[in-house]
Amino acid sequence: MKSFLHVFASFRMFSVLLFGFSCGIPLALVKSTLQAWMAAEKVDITTIGLFSLVSFPYSWKFIWAPFLDRYFPKALGRRRSWMLVFQVLLVFGIAAMAFVQPAQSPLVMAAIATTVAFFSASQDIVVDAFRTEALTRDEYGAGSGVYVMGYRIAMLTSGALALFMADHMSWQSVYLVMAATMGVGILGTLTAKEPEGAKPPKSLKDAVVLPLLEFVARPGAFEVLAFITLYKLDVAMAMALNTAFVLEIGFSKTDIAAVTKGFGLIATIVGTLVGGALMPKLGMRKSLWIFGILQGVTSLLFCWLEIVVHQGGMNLGGLISNYSALVISIAGENLTGGMGTAVYAAFFMSLCNKNYTATQYALLTSLMAFTRDVMTAPSGYLQKAVGWQNYFVISALLMIPGLLLLLRYSQWRLEGEANWVAKFPKLHNILAANRVPQTAAPVTSA
């Protein structure tokens, strides 16, 4: 057990935990919690629906990530300076939301909420860069697990806890308390150590162009991008209609709150921590294989859940109640999904050149969002055509394309500049002129 947990035992991990919490706080405050406030104030449902647009900065953060890579305040270093700036701005931005009445001034609230989302997305950019640069390669998996744990706890704080508080105090007070919780991130920034070794680009043009050119010059770059798009498609598809599925087969909203949102959250946190702890022993490639298969296969638990509820079969002779089957299904899917998330995020980190971490990581996460938001959009049409059981079977089978690409993993290793200098001599000259010390850390085949 000691050897299993030692990977978490560093002050860097504690800093990552605090930063995960800091990044998770604003999201619900501009989305679900804000929607609840507006509904309580009897704001028209069409206006509430339009407010989903205030979170658009999260999907487009790669646009200004190069600016954060190139320029930075000098006080605390390249990453910590920007983190402190955006955390302080978030304190004032969230507090400003407290003093606006959404029913009376919806446009003002929309403007402030969008600004908060921009500050939050910017904090995400710099924190992603910080943890990629600050952690060692062996710590990537554990660091991803710890970050997700902090992020999920924060979402619970600014989501469920904020709604509970709203039953006992004014919404203004709730948002002021939530603004104060950003002090956790500020504490992390002031106590963390600035990563060393990375060198900013010489110009904004270099910050925009070189990260893209450097990435596509690598062997197998486009295969890697396809893999990123497909690796968690099975999970995204299985979970896209999860709430609707659970309601349709007869469970209540209370069941959803307790099991899918509460117990599922715990299972996700445990999964990311277990996955992160196992990664140093398994290595990146084995972890991607094992966790990828597990997260796909557990989608079939929802087929079993429907059988237990509606057909009375495969429930071990009636020993498993409907509620227990729900718990097992949600726990299995979230546990293995968390393990997959840990190795997925660690893989992202391993791909980033530390001279362009903010830009490259932001691009990769935007590609991940494409899978979640765009490729799952037809899920409702698919379910209507094939029914729930076939839908979840198809979801499980969607693990296959990503795993087939994983067969090419060894070809994604960077064998040195010689492989791409001949193809991109001008790129080589540009990189040499900027004195970039390495192309990127090679993806190990362990």
Band of the pLDDT at 94, cuts 50, 70, 90? Answer: very high
CA dihedral 82, 86, 89, 90 (to 10 degrees): -160
Band of the pLDDT at 12, cuts 50, 70, 90? Answer: confident
Band of the pLDDT at 400, cuts 50, 70, 90? Answer: very high
Instruction: Please state the length of the chain.
Output: 446
In order of 243, 301, 302, 362, 380, the CA distances from 384 in angstroms are 15, 20, 16, 35, 6
Give, as one character, the DSSP assignment of residue 313: -
What residue ranges do the domains of the chain occupy? 1-199, 201-446
Q: What is d(CA 139, CA 105) in angstroms, rounded to the nearest whole number?
A: 47
Token pair 């991940």 is at which residue? 368
Contact 120, 30 (CB under 8 A): yes
Token pair 């299993």 is at which residue? 4
Q: What is d(CA 248, CA 241) in angstroms, rounded to the nearest whole number?
A: 11
Architecture per CATH, domain 1-199, reads as Up-down Bundle (1.20)
Q: Is the pTM of this model over 0.75?
A: yes
Which amino acid makes up residue 100? V
Percentage helix, strand, coil, to 5, in the chain?
Answer: 75, 0, 25
What the block records as the tokens of 165 is: 């508080």
- Fold identical between 1-199 and 201-446? yes
pLDDT digit string (tens) for 244-288?
788 888 887 777 777 877 788 889 889 998 998 888 888 889 999
In order of 9, 51, 76, 348, the CA distances from 63 in angstroms are 35, 22, 24, 18
Apex CA 237: angle with CA 215 and CA 264, to 5°? 100
Complete DSSP assignment for 35-80: HHHHHHTT--HHHHHHGGGGGGGGGSGGGTHHHHHH---SSS-TTH
Q: What is the pLDDT of residue 437?
A: 46
Q: What is d(CA 74, CA 80) in angstroms, rounded to the nearest whole number?
A: 10
In order of 135, 152, 156, the CA distances from 291 in angstroms are 22, 20, 25
Residue 413, φ and ψ in degrees, nearest 5: -65, 145
Specify the range with the lowest mean pLDDT, choosing from 57-71, 97-111, 227-241, 310-324: 310-324
What the block records as the tokens of 61 is: 């953060």
CATH class of the domain comprising 201-446: mainly alpha
pLDDT digit string (tens) for 281-320?
888 899 999 999 999 999 999 999 988 887 655 555 556 7
